[in-house]
């Protein structure tokens, strides 16, 4: 076996070293994590046993091992532990011959991984653009808004007819409503980032109690916690607000199921290893799932749900998810969403120490 294979444990992609017959001699930490099995279990078997249709891969490994060509690529589906993962994982296989004897190195890259990284980069760039747009727009609105309100107050003092003062009251009321909206837009950028030790389950329990207080009947909030998750440094109030915004949106989307009495909201925590978030590789990350059994996010806004002022609900401000994304990104994290009728999952990832 080549020396220093332990260096491959630092790679985010799956790597295995095999003999021509597929017998696995080494598998790195990413392979172990994504497959859902211990490294020792992986190395007891042929690597071909972990593929849905291994025939093409077998031929390629044999050809590369006999030096017919130095490297080759193909797409395949990787089986995973059935008790941990349900579906097979689509991967791109890169097969390369090692100089050490006839050993072959197989690198497996998740096809979804590249798409996810590109999506994260777009979301990060979009969030930064949104932040600048919101800040500039809010300041442009705020100054004339104060002038409008002040002029309405002065006009009201000069009017003797109560019927006319009703109009000035409308102006003042609407100016105050717009001022409140501007304040909400600027809130994440004004409030200082108060860093302390955060326990994610205290955050989840606080959100759970607030949701059940507002929706006491017809909604069950399930907890599925990994209690081994360590505390981390962060702003507890910001994280409570971020999780609450997502959970509250979910509860409002469950209105019909709440009336039927079968609405369900699940808070699930897990630890992920070797996770790339916003272009940086982290050894450990918190994964918080907020899942509901509602109707799903409308297709028309699914790609824009984190944009400011985009809402799928009549009367919604369209700021809840924008603020949630801002607060999570301030913790070097990210939010992902998957939605279909009957199941919507928001996935928050935050690096752990």
14 Cβ contact list (under 8 Å, min separation 6):
27, 28, 30, 31, 34, 35, 91, 107, 108, 109
In 98-160, beta strands by DSSP E: 104-110
Comparing 105 with 192, which gets the higher pLDDT? 105
Q: Map tokens 């009201």 to a residue.
A: 156
Q: Which ranges of the chain would DSSP assign to H, the alpha helix?
A: 29-35, 39-43, 55-65, 111-158, 162-190, 200-214, 236-253, 255-260, 320-329
Residue in 190, 185, 200, 269 with CA at minimum distance from that of residue 236 = 200
How many CB atoms neighbour CB 295 within 10 A? Answer: 17
CA angle 315, 320, 321 (to 5 degrees): 120
Strand-strand pairing, 219-224 and 263-277: parallel
Candidate ranges 102-116, 142-156, 219-233, 318-332; pick with highest mean pLDDT: 219-233
Strand-strand pairing, 104-110 and 196-198: unpaired
Mean per-residue pLDDT over the chain, rounded: 82
Comparing 5 with 127, which gets the higher pLDDT? 5
Tokens of 157: 């003092």
Residue 261 scores a pLDDT above 80:
yes
What integer pLDDT is reported at residue 317 of this predicted model? Answer: 59
Tokens of 121: 């980069």
Share of the chain above pLDDT 70, in %: 83
Residue in 279, 253, 260 with CA at minimum distance from that of residue 344 = 253
Distance of CA 127 to the CA centre of its chain: 14
Residue 332 scores a pLDDT above 70:
yes
What integer pLDDT is reported at residue 223 of this predicted model? Answer: 94
| Interatomic CA distance for residues 77 and 85, integer angstroms | 13
**What are the b/e assignments for 30-55, b being 16+ CB within 10 Å?**
bbbebbebebeebbeeebbebbeebe
Residue 217 scores a pLDDT above 60:
yes
pLDDT by residue (tens digit) across 222-258?
Answer: 999 998 999 999 989 889 989 999 999 999 989 899 9
pLDDT by residue (tens digit) across 158-186?
Answer: 887 777 888 888 888 888 888 877 776 66
Residue 311 — very low, low, confident or very high, per pLDDT cuts 50/70/90?
low
What integer pLDDT is reported at residue 191 of this predicted model? Answer: 59
What integer pLDDT is reported at residue 190 of this predicted model? Answer: 57
| Interatomic CA distance for residues 80 and 275, integer angstroms | 18
Residue in 20, 22, 25 with CA at minimum distance from that of residue 43 = 25
Q: Which of 18-22, 288-292, 316-320 has the lowest mean pLDDT?
A: 316-320
pLDDT by residue (tens digit) across 269-300?
Answer: 999 877 777 767 788 899 999 999 988 888 88
Mean pLDDT value across residues 342-346: 91
What integer pLDDT is reported at residue 274 of this predicted model? Answer: 73
Contact 338, 139 (CB under 8 A): no
Q: Which of 8-22, 45-59, 100-114, 166-180 has the lowest mean pLDDT?
A: 100-114
| Interatomic CA distance for residues 101 and 164, integer angstroms | 94
Residue 51 scores a pLDDT above 60:
yes
Mean pLDDT value across residues 15-44: 81
């Amino acid at each position: 076996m080549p020396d220093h294979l332990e260096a491959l444990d630092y790679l985010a992609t799956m790597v295995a070293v095999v003999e021509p017959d597929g017998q696995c001699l080494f598998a790195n930490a990413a392979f172990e994590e994504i497959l859902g099995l211990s490294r020792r279990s992986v190395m007891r078997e042929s690597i071909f046993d972990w593929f849905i249709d291994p025939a093409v891969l077998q031929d390629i490994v044999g050809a590369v091992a006999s030096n017919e060509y130095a490297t080759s690529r193909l797409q395949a589906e990787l089986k995973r532990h059935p008790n941990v993962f349900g579906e097979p994982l689509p991967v791109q296989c890169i097969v390369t011959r090692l100089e050490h004897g006839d050993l072959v190195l197989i690198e497996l890259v998740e096809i979804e991984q590249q798409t996810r990284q590109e999506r994260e980069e777009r979301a990060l760039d979009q969030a930064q653009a949104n932040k600048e747009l919101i800040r500039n727009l809010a300041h442009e609105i705020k100054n004339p808004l104060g002038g409008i309100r002040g002029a309405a107050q002065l006009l009201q003092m000069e009017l003797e007819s109560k019927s006319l003062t009703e109009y000035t009251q409308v102006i003042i009321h609407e100016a105050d409503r717009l001022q409140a909206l501007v304040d909400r837009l600027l809130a994440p950028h004004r409030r200082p980032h108060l860093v302390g030790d955060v326990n994610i389950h205290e955050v989840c329990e606080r959100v759970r109690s607030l949701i059940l207080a507002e929706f006491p009947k017809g909604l069950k909030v399930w907890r599925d916690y990994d209690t081994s998750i360590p505390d981390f440094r962060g702003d507890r109030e910001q994280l409570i607000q971020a999780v609450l915004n997502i959970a509250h949106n979910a509860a409002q989307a469950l209105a019909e199921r709440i009336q039927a009495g079968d609405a369900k909201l699940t808070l699930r925590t897990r630890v992920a290893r070797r996770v790339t978030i916003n272009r940086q590789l982290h050894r450990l990350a918190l994964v918080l799932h907020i899942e509901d059994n509602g109707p799903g996010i409308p297709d028309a806004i699914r790609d824009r749900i984190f944009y400011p002022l985009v809402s799928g609900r009549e009367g919604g401000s369209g700021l809840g998810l924008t603020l949630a994304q801002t607060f999570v990104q301030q913790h070097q994290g990210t939010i992902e969403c998957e939605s279909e009728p009957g199941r919507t999952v928001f996935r928050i990832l935050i690096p752990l120490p």
